[in-house]
Each structure stands twice: as C-alpha cells, then as structure tokens.
Amino acid sequence: MGPAHRRRTHVPGRTPVHRAPAHLKLLALLGFMLVVVATPRTAYPAFAAYAAVLVALIVVARVPLGFLLPRMLVEVPFVVFAVLLPFIATGPTTTFLGLTVSEPGLEAAAALLIKATIGVAASLTLAATTEPHELLAGLGRLRLPHEMVQIMAFMIRYVDVVADEMHRMRIARESRGFRGSSIRQWGVLGRTASALFIRSYERGERVHLAMMSRGHDPSGGRS
C-alpha cells in the first residue's frame, strides 16, 4: 500500500494501439470478449486464434511482459476455482493424470481458464495503452451518462490522495507500536476507516465548494 506500492496502470507509448480512439478500443474489447465468451467451450482452434490476435496486439502495442504478468495475478482466485471444478461437477467421468474427474467439469474448467485469461490480458492491454482521462472521454462518447463519467473522474483523481491519507494513518499507527495480528485490533482499524471516511467526505465538500466558487456548472453545460 501507499507510494511504494503505487503502480502504473498505463504504459506510455506512441504505437497505433495507443493512438486509437478510446471509445473504439472499449467497443473492440467488449465485442471481442463477447465473442470469446459466446464461443463453445471445446472450440480450441478458435481460442488459439483469439490468443494469437491478442498476442499480436500486445506485441504491436509494446506492452512489456513485466507489466502484464504481475497484474494478471488478479485471476488467481478463479484458477483455484477452476482446479476444483472437475471434482465438484457432475456428468460422465474420465481419467485425467490418474484421477477420476467429471468430463464436462474438466472441459468447463479449461474453458473458464482460457476465457478468463484472455479477458484479463485484453483488459490490461486496454488499460496499458489508454490513459485514464482518455478512457473517461471514451466512456462519455459511448453515452455513459455525464454524471457517471464525472463520478468516475473524481474517483480516479482522488483515489491516490485518499490512499496516501490511509497510508499516513498506517505509518502513524505503526509508529505508536500498533501491530495488526488478531481480531482484537479490529476496533482500531474500524476507527481508522471512519476517520478516512470523514476526511474523504469533507474533502469532497471542499472540492465541491472550490468548484462552485470558480463558476462550475454542475449540469456540465446542459440545462
């Protein structure tokens, strides 16, 4: 947490993938993933083709593997689930690596792993090649309601400020000898979260007042 762990979501670059308009990239990601999800689970040649397209895109966009691979760990919980799937699913059984497992379960587990991995890699490629503010503009062009885009913009703009505030509170706690190791410390952590909420809320009020005093129109130019 905190500054040491603050990692980029974006890899600067001037490749064709970087320069493509954000709303087209978002639509392409959604369309591509809908096709991937709708593909029957044993159509392995199709999955190989999707993966090839994706790898080609990653190579063209010059997204380093050192950026991609650590961030792909978000799918680990589902790898665990996929490993369990052949054992809990029903249907005809088959032998795999000397174990008796459900055949549809095994197929579904493989398909889940393939589809989720393609999804994570494709989403990370979009994030890596699109700056957050471009992403917001793209969402706006895709008719995400103006207010929703604004909420997301404020969240992205202030999330580091709030996370840093939390990090400073943690340093303060620990410099006073706090060590979170058991359930007995939940009270302290709960009060930390409450202080963080009050500070975030009050910051929101200050931001709003500052905007209004500079002549901000909350309707965003629409009346």
Partner 1 sequence: MADPSPSTYSRQVHVPDGFLDASTSVATGAAAVAGLALALRGARRELDDRTAPMAGLVAAFVFATQMINFPVGAGTSGHLLGGVLAAVLVGPWTAVLCISTVLLVQCLLFADGGITALGTNITLMGLVGVGVGWLVLRLIKAVLPDRLASVTPAAALAALVSVPAAALAFTGLYAVGGEAPIPLGSLATAMVGWHTVIGLGEAVITGLVVSAVLAVRPDLVYGARSALTARTLELRPSKRAAA
Site string for partner 1, 22-51 (x = CB under 8 A): ----x--xx--xx-xxx--x----------
| Residue 53 within binding range of partner 1, rule CB under 8 A | no
Q: How far is the CB of 221 from partner 1 (least distance, A)?
A: 14
Burial environment of residue 149 by CB neighbours within 10 A (0 to 12, 13 to 18, 19 or more): buried
Helical residues (DSSP H) of the chain, grouped into ranges: 16-19, 22-38, 44-61, 65-71, 76-88, 103-129, 132-141, 146-175, 186-213
| Residue 21 within binding range of partner 1, rule CB under 8 A | no
The residue (of 51 and 120) whose beta carbon lies closer to partner 1 is 120
Q: Which of 145, 168, 171, 172 binds partner 1 (CB under 8 A)?
A: 145
| Residue 174 within binding range of partner 1, rule CB under 8 A | no
Q: How far is the CB of 44 from partner 1 (least distance, A)?
A: 14
- Of 106, 114, 111, 110, the C-alpha closest to 89 is 106
Q: How far is the CB of 59 from partner 1 (least distance, A)?
A: 19
| Residue 190 within binding range of partner 1, rule CB under 8 A | yes
| DSSP type of residue 92 | S
Instruction: Tell me the three state secondary structure of residue 51.
Output: helix
